[in-house]
Amino acid sequence: MPASTPWSDLQAELEQREAAGLLRRRRLIDGRQQPVLHSDGAEVLSFCSNDYLGLASHPDLIAAMQQAAAEAGVGSGASHLITGHHRLHHELEEALAEFVGLPRALMFSTGYMANLGVVTALLGRGDAVFADRLNHASLNDAVVLSRAELNRYPHNDVAALEKLLENSTAKRKLVLADAVFSMDGDIAPVPQLLAACERHNAWLMLDDAHGFGVLGRHGRGVLEHFGVHSSRIIYMATLGKAAGVFGAFVAGDPQLIEYLLQKARTYIYTTAMPPALAGALKAALPIIGQESARREQLRTLIDALRGGLRLQRWRLDPSGTPIQPLIIGSNEEALQASEYLRDRGILVPAIRPPTVLQGTARLRISLSAAHQHEHIERLIDALHGAEKALS
């Protein structure tokens, strides 16, 4: 027996995880974020990134960040409510609000923090949240931290949601949903969710992490996609995915936003993000809005993948977004499929429970406008080979 240390319990748990094949390790990435990555010293074709529009290495964004850093320095120095709120942040907030067509926006350092900040500022004991079962982990954590009651409804099941709302006597009610579900790629039925919220006087918070930049003719996200407008909506989107940089914002009614500015703890008790990031994001917005060719390229790649795959035992679930879920079922087989691809220089993550429901282990394929058709063809060939080899 090795001598016990203050951390022996943790070590035992890590060893159990390793034995169960659940120990995670990080790839070491070098160079720029792009479909062909330098990972652990080799070149690999990646279908893992959320850089849906290929902006993370865009020369205009790099130049904008360099220029903003030269002007504003690299650190914000303080939180927003002290002296960290730079003109570049302020201008970006105004541009974001205008971009998504809502009156006012407030920046947060990450989407995770935005979700925690909003839910804990608005709700407490005696209030209730109604959440889709497939919501992102950050939304679930936010509810726990808020101490509101958590009611989960089956994925996209508006009738079940209505029943829960009807039976609730909570003071404040908040319906909480991913706009695009992060492991499935499908889109929440926003008009129906909104109608249910109107009938039951609930707020509706949408997490558009995967829709912003991607959905809608101008990439304005899920609200543009459905053409919905309502002052009842709390809109949250992240800026580290399609927008290519980092950060997040919440947009909505001016009273809501002023309240969050006063009360959201993850806004108040943290250093403002570097203003140079805001400078890069300001350069991203016109590219997102005007270069619809990037969204058209994504669309043709999605169609090429969906049209080209001929699967026997596995299935590609319906999704019109860059997140394409290839359902394999068994945890072990999903892992083997991911390893088969990796051995051929292709990275696609295997996603297993508890991140997804039992029996729905999958390959989560993410496409980017920066992919080329030959990349999709390589992926299709390798998937056909994997399904055959593992049968």
Ligand X SMILES: *Cc1c(COP(=O)(O)O)cnc(C)c1O
Residues annotated as catalytic (active site), given as ranges: 182, 210, 241
What element of type H or E holds 235? strand 233-238
**Of 46 and 138, which CB lies nearer to ligand X in the complex structure?**
138
Report whether 115 contacts 142 (CB < 8 A).
yes
Smallest separation (angstroms) from ligand X to the CB of 151: 19
Smallest separation (angstroms) from ligand X to the CB of 178: 5
**Of 88 and 242, which CB lies nearer to ligand X in the complex structure?**
242
Structure tokens at 258: 């002023």
What element of type H or E holds 132? strand 128-132
Under rule CB under 6 A, residue 178 binds ligand X: yes
Of positions 136, 152, 295, 364, contacts ligand X by CB under 6 A: 136
**Of 331 and 366, which CB lies nearer to ligand X in the complex structure?**
366
DSSP helix/strand/coil, 177: strand
Closest Cα partner for 155 from 169, 134, 173?
134
Smallest separation (angstroms) from ligand X to the CB of 222: 12
Interface with ligand X: number of residues (CB under 6 A) = 13
Task: Determine whether 38 is exposed, middle or buried from the number of CB atoms within 10 Å of its CB (0-12, 13-18, 19+).
Answer: middle
d(CA 288, CA 244): 10
Under rule CB under 6 A, residue 142 binds ligand X: no
Report whether 222 contacts 102 (CB < 8 A).
no
Kindly give the interhelix angle for 59-72 and 275-290, rounded to the nearest 10 degrees.
150
**Of 178 and 387, which CB lies nearer to ligand X in the complex structure?**
178
Of positions 182, 321, 331, 360, contacts ligand X by CB under 6 A: 182
Smallest separation (angstroms) from ligand X to the CB of 207: 5
Residue 71-110 contact track with ligand X, rule CB under 6 A, x = bound: ---------------------------------------x
Residue 191-210 contact track with ligand X, rule CB under 6 A, x = bound: ----------------x-xx
Give residues with Cβ within 8 angstroms of 255, minimum separation 6: none
Under rule CB under 6 A, residue 364 binds ligand X: no
Which residue is closest to ligand X by CB? 111
d(CA 85, CA 270): 12
Q: What residues numbered 108-127 form the site for ligand X, per CB under 6 A?
A: 110-112
Q: Which amino acid is at 213?
A: G
**Of 23 and 137, which CB lies nearer to ligand X in the complex structure?**
137
Q: Which residue has the tokens 């879920």?
A: 325
Report whether 267 contacts 221 (CB < 8 A).
no
354 cis-preceded (ω within 30 degrees of 0): yes
Q: What residues numbered 238-267 form the site for ligand X, per CB under 6 A?
A: 238, 240, 248
Of positions 138, 146, 324, 360, contacts ligand X by CB under 6 A: 138
Residues lying near ligand X in the complex (CB under 6 A): 110-112, 136, 138, 178, 182, 207, 209-210, 238, 240, 248
